[in-house]
Structure 1
Amino acid sequence: MMTNQSNEKTILHYLNDKKYHIHRHVLLQLFALIYASDVFCAVPGKLSFSIGAFWAFIGMYLIFCLTVYPNAYILVPRYLAKGKIVKYIISAVILIIICLFVMAVILALFEKPNTGVLKIVPSRNILQIMMIMLPSGLTIGLQIIAVAAFMSFKKWLEDNKRADELKAATLTTELMFLKSQINPHFLFNMLNNANILTEDDPDQASLILVKLDDLLHYQMNDSTRDKVYLSADISFLRDFLDLEKTRRDDFKYTISKEGNTSNVQIAPLLFIPFVENAVKHNFDSRGDSFVHLSFTARDGRLVFTCENSIPQEEIPRKVGGLGLANIRRRLDLLYKDNYTLEQTKTDTVYSVILELML
Structure 2
Amino acid sequence: MMNTVYTAAGEQEYSFRNPLPFLLCSPRVRLYRHLFILLLLWVVIQTTDFRPAAAYLVKTIATLFLAGIGYCNMYWLMPVFLFRKKTLHYFGSCLLLAAASYGLQHVLQPMMTGYLLPGTVISHDTPEDFFAYMIIIIVVIGAATAVKLFQQWVRDTIRISQLENARLQIELAHLKSQINPHFLFNMLNNTDVLIRVDPEKASEVIHKLSDLLRYQLYDGDRELVLLQQEVLFLHHYLYLEKIRRDYLDIQLIHTGPVGQVWVPPLLFITFVENAIKHNTANDPAAYVHLHIRYESGVLTFHCSNSCKKRPAGHHTQSAGIGLANIRRRLELLYPDKYALRITDEGDSYKIYLSIQL
1:280 deviation in Å? 0.4
Q: Distance in 2 between matches of 1:336 and 1:319?
A: 25
Match of 1:326 in 2: 325
Shift of 1:146: 2.1
Q: What are structure 1's unaligned runs of at least 5 residues?
A: 1-5, 43-47, 119-125
Moved more, 223-232 or 102-111: 102-111
- Residue identity in the other structure for 1:304: F
Closer, same or farther in 2 for the Cα pair 1:280/1:8, shift >3 Å? closer
Residue 74 in 1 paired to residue 53 in 2? no
Equivalents in 1 of 2:211, 2:233: separation in Å?
8
Tell me what 1:138 maps to. 135
Cross-structure match for 1:106: 108
* C-alpha contact 1:281 1:317 (8 A) present in aligned 2: no
2:178 corresponds to which residue?
181
**Contact conserved, 1:276 with 1:320, CA < 8 A, in 2?**
no
Cα deviation for residue 313 of structure 1 reads 7.7
Aligned to 2:33: 24
Pair 1:230-2:227 in alignment: yes
Over 3 Å counting, the alpha-carbon distance change for 1:284 and 1:332 in structure 2 is: same
2:349 is aligned to: 350
Q: Which amino acid aligns with 2:201?
A: Q
1:194–1:215 CA distance, 2 compared to 1 (3 A)? same
SS in 1 for 2:279: coil
Structure 1 residue aligned with 2:4: none
- Summarize the Cα distance change of 1:197–1:153 in structure 2 as closer, same or farther, 3 Å threshold: same
**1:84 — aligned with what?**
86
Q: What is the CA–CA distance in structure 1 between the aligned matches of 2:272 and 2:243, rounded to whole Å?
A: 16
Q: Which residue of 1 aligns with 2:298?
A: 301
Equivalence map 1:192-271=2 (5 Å):
192-271=189-268
Listed as ranges, the gaps of 5+ residues in structure 2 are: 1-14
Deviation at 1:267, TM superposition (A): 1.9
Please show how residues 91-130 of structure 1 align to structure 2 within 5 Å: 91-111=93-113, 115-118=120-123, 128=125
CA distance in 1, matches of 2:82, 2:51: 40
Q: Which has the higher contact order (CA 8 A, sep 6+)?
A: 2
Q: Secondary structure at the match of 2:47?
A: helix
Rounded Cα–Cα distance in structure 1 between residues aligned with 2:32 and 2:200: 69
Distance 1:319 1:342 in 2: 19
* Residue pairs, 1:34-45, within 5 angstroms: 34-36=43-45, 38-40=46-48
How many residues in Structure 1 have an aligned counterpart in Structure 2?
A: 338
**After alignment, is 102-111 or 73-82 more displaced?**
102-111
Distance 2:127 2:213 in 1: 70
Task: Give the secondary-structure state (helix, strand or coil) at the position aligned to 1:323.
Answer: helix
Q: 1:284 to 1:130 in 2, by over 3 A?
A: farther
Identical positions, percent: 35
For residue 86 of structure 1, report the CA deviation from its aligned partner. Answer: 0.8
CA deviations over 1:143-179 (Å, ceiling 9, x no partner): 2122112211110111111111122222222322332
| 1:335-355 superposed Cα distances (whole Å, 9 cap, x missing partner) | 122221112233543211111
Structure 2 residue matching 1:337: 3-state secondary structure: coil
Matched AA of 2:122: V
Q: Name which one, 1 or 2, has greater alpha-carbon Rg.
A: 1
For residues 122-163 of structure 1, what are the alpha-carbon distances to aligned partners after superposition, in whole Å with 9 as ceiling and x for unaligned?
xxxx8x368842332022112212211221111011111111
- Classify the secondary structure of the residue corresponding to 2:351: strand
Classify 1:280/1:306 alpha carbon distance in 2 versus 1 (closer, same or farther; 3 Å). Answer: same
In 1, are the aligned partners of 2:16 and 2:22 still within 8 Å (CA)?
no
RMSD, matched Cα: 2.7
1:336 equivalent in alignment to 2:335 = yes
CA contact (8 A) 1:81 1:152 kept: no
Partner residue in 2 for 1:122: none
| Contact 2:24-2:147 within 8 A present in 1 as well | no
In the aligned structure 2, how far is the partner of 1:327 from the partner of 1:320? 11
CA distance in 2: counterparts of 1:341 and 1:185, whole angstroms? 30
TM-score, scaled to structure 2 = 0.85
